[in-house]
């Protein structure tokens, strides 16, 4: 008999990929949940309308599930309130489910150096990181929580770290950033994330633990941009001056972001290129390296090699990059 597994945030990049992988599982029966169930629809996968901030909805949904995977993303308020409600509801459920909770490397805040899961959670780089720390604090009270702290999830479908970056690279708006790109880019390929989640569902002895998810020996952001640029044919990769980066993040980003929000509100695609948010400058320079040896022991195999991941990403992105170029 299959066990029900509820995927919260199933309309997003990670949730959707996990739901898709679980759909072919012999052990698990996924329920793809989102604020708008239609957004999470995926073949024959069951869907559910759930707003994680609504305790009653969550309580009802947790009646008959063996596990929950929390992939909800959004603003810091949604993350903090939704996370708290989830763990309270799980604790009150007749059969408390295993909860695999997607936290983030952002919980380590401004830390530098090689970071294991035992490092203090600083949460000092903005409201997003503080919200993630808040939810982890709540999750720690729940015995069946498994906390995942992924780095930069890339791969086909990653709007944030693959598609957006590819467009920046193609338009030569980003590239070799010099000192400003010396931070470590703790990449993790989407398929590795999915594999890890599937293994975590079956693993009986990892409840209550946290796991960093990132490839070993991560490249710097400069290396990532150069290698990704080469993979998508956006060469030569340009050296970006700090002057240009400042112009992008301080002067252009606010306008582009407003246009993006307005376009989304009226239901059209923004005619303007994606903004480079100023918040990324700190990340690109941060010398933090996630130690994910603990996760590798659960995974049992190695992470996808960066060149393989980039190659597959480039293949998936080719139509979109070409389409934008033609238009």
Where do contacts with another protein occur on this chain (CB under 8 A)?
112-113, 175-176, 178-179, 182, 226, 229-230, 235-242, 285, 287
| Token duo for residue 319 | 């139509």
Nearer to another protein by Cβ, of 15 and 175: the residue is: 175
Least distance (Å) between residue 304 CB and another protein:
22
Four-CA torsion 248, 252, 258, 261, nearest 10 degrees: -40
Q: Which is nearer to another protein, 251 or 266 (CB)?
A: 251
Q: How far is the CB of 276 from another protein (least distance, A)?
A: 16
Between residues 113 and 120, which has the closer beta carbon with respect to another protein?
A: 113
- Cβ-based neighbours of 249, under 8 Å, separated by 6 or more: 276, 277, 278, 280, 281
Q: How far is the CB of 182 from another protein (least distance, A)?
A: 7
| Strand pairing report for 152-154 and 288-290 | unpaired
CB of 183 to another protein, least distance (A): 10
- Which residue number, 3 or 230, has a Cβ lying nearer to another protein? 230
Which whole-number Å values give the CA distances from 81 to 72, 131, 147, in the listed order? 11, 9, 17
Residue number, 239 or 293, with CB nearest to another protein: 239
Q: Measured from the CB of residue 246, what is the shortest distance to another protein in angstroms?
A: 13
The CA distance from 165 to 157, in Å, is 12
Radius of gyration of the chain (CA): 20
DSSP 3-state assignment of 19? Answer: helix
């Amino acid at each position: 008999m299959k066990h029900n597994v509820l995927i919260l945030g199933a309309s997003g990049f990670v949730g959707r990929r996990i739901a898709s992988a679980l759909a072919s599982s012999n052990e698990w029966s996924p329920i793809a949940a989102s604020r708008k169930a239609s957004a999470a629809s995926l073949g024959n996968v069951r869907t559910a309308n759930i707003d994680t901030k609504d305790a009653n909805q969550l309580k009802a949904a947790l009646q008959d599930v063996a596990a929950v995977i929390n992939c909800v993303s959004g603003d810091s308020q949604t993350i903090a309130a939704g996370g708290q409600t989830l763990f309270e509801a799980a604790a009150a459920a007749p059969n408390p489910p295993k909860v695999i909770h997607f936290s983030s490397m952002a919980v380590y805040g401004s830390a530098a150096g090689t970071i294991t899961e035992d490092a203090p959670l600083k949460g000092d780089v903005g409201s997003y990181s503080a919200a993630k720390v808040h939810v982890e604090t709540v999750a720690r009270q729940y015995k069946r929580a498994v906390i995942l702290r992924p780095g930069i999830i890339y791969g086909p479908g990653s709007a944030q770290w693959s598609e957006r970056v590819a467009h920046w690279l193609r338009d030569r708006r980003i590239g070799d950033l010099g000192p400003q790109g010396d931070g470590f880019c703790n990449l993790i390929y989407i398929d590795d994330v999915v594999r890890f989640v599937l293994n975590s569902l079956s693993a009986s002895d990892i409840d209550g633990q946290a796991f960093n998810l990132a490839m070993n020996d991560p490249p710097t952001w400069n290396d990532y941009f150069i290698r990704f640029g080469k993979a998508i044919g956006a060469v030569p990769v340009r050296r970006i001056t700090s002057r240009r980066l400042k112009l992008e993040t301080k002067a252009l980003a606010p306008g582009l972001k407003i246009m993006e929000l307005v376009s989304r509100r009226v239901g059209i695609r923004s005619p303007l290129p994606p903004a480079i948010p100023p918040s990324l400058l700190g990340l690109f320079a941060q010398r933090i390296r996630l130690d994910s040896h603990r996760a590798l022991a659960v995974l049992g195999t190695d992470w996808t090699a960066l060149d393989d991941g980039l190659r597959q990403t480039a293949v998936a992105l080719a139509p979109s990059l070409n389409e934008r170029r033609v238009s």
